Amino acid sequence: MFRIAFFEPRIPPNTGNAIRLVSATGAQLHLVGPLGFDLSDAKLRRAGLDYHDLASVTVHEDLPALWTAVPDARVLAFTAGAELRHTDVDYRPGDVLMFGPEPTGLPPEVLADPRVGERVRIPMLPGRRSLNLSNAAAIAAYEAWRQHGFQGA
């Protein structure tokens, strides 16, 4: 299945929603620190409800720790400045769909990291800064899963 990575997430309910997303799709969630909240945060737990034990969630201290955990994975960086649309990617099992924190997105040094392959965008109307983090992750994850026939569903 696919991996969703949140780089330095800051808003607990978005991470809680992502926990629900990975429990519903069979994807894995990778959280790259430092996190902007404690994992016991009530808002995170409320958004994730009782899905925590049904989800695969791994916390990494930093970006090098993520790279060590997914050594051969293709990394797709989702950013509003990309040209490649999320629907034009041929997703492969094991891909890492990486998202940056709200409101800034992935910083330039992450986008320039040699492990990052394609930069991908989700189309929006002009003049809009970004989508909600958990919504963007859901759009990408479901497109990847759709391309594989919703395997396991």
Q: Report the percent of the chain where pLDDT is more than 70.
A: 92
Averaged over 109-129, what is the pLDDT?
Answer: 95
The full set of domains in the chain, from first to last, is: 3-147 (3.40.1280.10)
**pLDDT tens digit sequence for 44-92:** 566 555 666 788 999 999 999 999 999 999 999 999 989 999 999 999 9
**pLDDT tens digit sequence for 23-52:** 999 999 999 999 988 877 566 566 555 666
Which 3-state string (H, E, C) describes the chain? CCEEEEECCCCHHHHHHHHHHHHHHCCEEEEECCCCCCCCCHHHHHHHCCCHHHCEEEEECCHHHHHHHCCCCCEEEECCCCCEEHHHCCCCCCCEEEECCCCCCCCHHHHCCCCEEEEEECCCCCCCCCCCHHHHHHHHHHHHHHHCCCCCC
pTM of the model as a whole? 0.93
